[in-house]
Chains A and B, each alone.
Chain A
Amino acid sequence: MGRMTRRRFLQYSGAALASLALGDPLSRWAVGQEAPVTVGAVYPLTGALARIGAAIRNAIELAVEIVNNPYPDLNLPLARTAGLPRLGGRRLRVVWGDSRGDPATGRAEAERLIEREGAVALIGSYQSAVTATASLAAEARGIPFLNPESSSPRLTERGFKWFFRTGPHDITFTRIMFDMVEDLKRRGHRISRVAILAEDSEFGATAAGVAKGFAQSRGYTVAAMELYTSPPSSLTAELLRIRAAAPDFVIGANYLVDAILITRTLKEMRWFPQGFMVHAGFTTVPDYLNAVGRDGYYFLARAPWALGIARRKPLVARVNELYRRKHGADMDEVAARAFTGMLTLADAINRAGSTAPAAIQKALRETNIPGAQLIMPWQGIQFDDKGQNRYATGVMVQILDGEYKVVWPFEVAEAELAWPAPPWDRR
């Protein structure tokens, strides 16, 4: 029996994936169309993140279908026409690379898609660590790389010429928390003291540092800043100190296990600040509410997107309907970001009028998609010099009656924000 080497495994899995992706376009060649334009997508299709990878894949396939077929009633880029009009109606096709969630594999897959599959641009790769390596492969070969959903701010600080990010990053996410508080102050709430509670690894410590910086630059008092190691056996000491510091609101960067403990400890202490806002959206994981029930109500989380904005933005409901018809589930925020990223890339390739990477790069730089043509709560998409979409932002959701409701920005809110959160004895 031959030994399964790493290289051979990659070859086999790559071939399998490529043949899967090829099935559909092959039948189209048979009816006599010009060769499609190939975009490579590197995502975690297997491994621990496979479930997220599957949602992203569904979203990207839906975006490609909308580009390739006429959808006259959708106000999205390239929806009304079939294929890419400026390239003579050529179709778009996606070839998939499986990062398995690993940065080295992600880079190898990106190289394979460019060199063997003829990808003219890449999209990927969910995790910031994989996006960092896969985009390195694209940068080295002069191929545009569009990233819809990684949140590390560092990615657009590398001085890359071929890297573009449509979605928000962690600094944006902290900014929306403070923007919401500013709006609340305008409504007459007295808010001046903030406390920060974060786990002490890369994720939590970085978010805590960013939150502290925003608080100071906007004139808030950082009443307490507590870091702990996850999983914690107890958070009593941390929360006693925070309560003693009497903050008006608390910003948290916590993992799910910590979040459950925080909720229970706050209830035990019979204390809740005016608002408790968290990063990474632990509260949007169903496990959280299953574990804490009603005690989890009123927590606020930042989110890049939420289906709830459909109430004020009918386009979202229509796209979600198509998605659900195809895949049997509602879109989630990662899928929404991936969908938007794919359409942005398709729009640039079309405007480039060519499959030359340099032409696509130039078109990406000139991207100007208005907010009305997006399923995101953004003013639009325009890239700054670093390749970051200057309008990328998010929404704040609050858990109200067991559901995650968009409560800010007030223009797209689907429910009234509960601020201050009611005390425990009135819940």
Chain B
Amino acid sequence: MELVWQAAVSGVVLGLVYALVALGLSLIWGVMDVVNLAHAEYLMLAMYATYWLWALGRLDPALAFPVVVPVFFGLGWLTHQALICRIVRAPLAAQIFATFGLLFVLRYSAFAAFGPNVYGVWRTGEGTVTVLGVSVAASKVVAAGVSLAAFGLLAAFLRYTKTGKALQAAAQNRDVALALGIPVDRMYALSWGIGVASVALAGVFLIPFYQVSPTIGDAFLLLAFASVVLGGFGRVDGALVGGLSIGLLENLLGTLVSPTFKFLFVFAAFVAMLLVRPQGLLGDVGR
């Protein structure tokens, strides 16, 4: 029983981290209907940025987000202006090729810049805290808290600010939004800015307990997709529910049945969801 409880608590913490990684993917997907295959590469780049700030500037990773997140917001915006705005209305295949190409450009730029070596942050006082009777790394608890805060802030932004409402309008119907005078292209760029900034936030808080190498995106990209699909398309909180479901499924069934099959459980749930409830746990029918 203790084992189950431990797996569940670690699963929730891990799920919140997955959710934060998936947040930006969900937003961009929801607003623009563009699947960003290069999503996890921004995670990797943000992890490098945080690592180098720590290694060269002695800046603690927990304090790196005011530097890293705005830079990645700009990078997301720039990606939209340079590449994505040209393919918004292109066929699906063109969108896939474009973001897949972006994945390779970013990944191999990292190879060229940093080499294939693996880097991680190591701090002396790195401790563990006891959450509901289970020992969890303090840095993971911080990352989980940041994840909840990010979801809360984004939900508030979308619901209560004029820009947030305009973003939703652009997501719901491009033409009507344009007719209402909403600068749709700028909304799209904004969604890329926020999307990439949020995955950078995940990278900043991931680096204290997860190491970075140019191919590290592979560990997270599929899980981020599964989070978005499980939770529900077009709803930002869907990524939260999806991420939590995956964290719990992976840890509970992995621990109780067999870790070898932990992703089998996750992706079986993914396929089942597509068959039974393609709109996802929270998704609205008819979108």
Which A residues form the contact surface with B (CB < 8 A)?
A: 48, 200, 226-229, 231-234, 236-238, 240-241, 244, 256-257, 260-261, 264, 267-270, 287-288, 290-295
Q: Chain A residues near B216 (CB, 8 Å)?
A: 231, 257
Q: Which secondary structure characterizes the binding site on chain A?
A: helix
Given A233-B219, A290-B122, A257 contacting B250 (CB threshold 8 A): no
Contact A233–B120 (Cβ < 8 Å): no
Q: Chain B residues near A236 (CB, 8 Å)?
A: 7, 10-11, 14, 251, 255
Bound Cα distance A226, B262 (Å): 11
Contact B219–A269 (Cβ < 8 Å): no
Given A231-B215, A233-B219, A236-B251, A241 contacting B259 (CB threshold 8 A): yes
Which B residues form the contact surface with A (CB < 8 A)?
A: 3, 6-7, 10-11, 14, 18, 116-124, 126, 128, 135-137, 140, 209-211, 213, 215-216, 218-220, 223, 250-251, 254-255, 258-260, 262-263
Which residue from A228, A270, A294 sits with its C-beta under 8 Å from B135?
A270
Bound Cα distance A380, B87 (Å): 67
Given A227-B260, A228-B260, A270-B128, A257 contacting B118 (CB threshold 8 A): yes
Bound Cα distance A48, B214 (Å): 15
Chain B nearest CB: distance from A15 CB in Å? 30
Interface centre among B11, B124, B260 (most CB of A within 10 A): B260
Q: Chain A residues near B215 (CB, 8 Å)?
A: 231
Q: Chain A residues near B126 (CB, 8 Å)?
A: 267
Bound Cα distance A293, B126 (Å): 11
Q: Chain B residues near A256 (CB, 8 Å)?
A: 118
Chain B nearest CB: distance from A414 CB in Å? 26
Contact A232–B219 (Cβ < 8 Å): yes
Bound Cα distance A417, B135 (Å): 29
Contact A240–B209 (Cβ < 8 Å): no
Contact B220–A237 (Cβ < 8 Å): no
Which residue from A200, A268, A269, A293 sits with its C-beta under 8 Å from B124?
A293
Contact A240–B3 (Cβ < 8 Å): yes
Q: Chain A residues near B135 (CB, 8 Å)?
A: 268-270
Selected A-B contacts with CB under 8 Å, 21 pairs? A48-B116, A226-B259, A231-B219, A233-B223, A236-B14, A237-B7, A237-B259, A238-B259, A240-B6, A241-B258, A244-B3, A257-B216, A260-B120, A267-B137, A268-B137, A269-B135, A270-B135, A287-B117, A291-B119, A292-B120, A293-B123
Which residue from B122, B211, B220, B223 sits with its C-beta under 8 Å from A257?
B211
A228-B259, A240-B10, A288-B118 known; 16 new pairs, CB 8 Å cut-off, are: A226-B259, A226-B260, A227-B260, A228-B260, A231-B219, A236-B14, A237-B250, A240-B251, A241-B259, A257-B211, A257-B216, A261-B210, A261-B211, A264-B209, A268-B135, A269-B135
Contact B259–A293 (Cβ < 8 Å): no
Nearest 4 CB-CB pairings of A with B: A237-B254, A291-B120, A293-B122, A238-B259
Q: Chain B residues near A237 (CB, 8 Å)?
A: 7, 250-251, 254-255, 259, 262
Contact B7–A290 (Cβ < 8 Å): no
Bound Cα distance A373, B66 (Å): 61
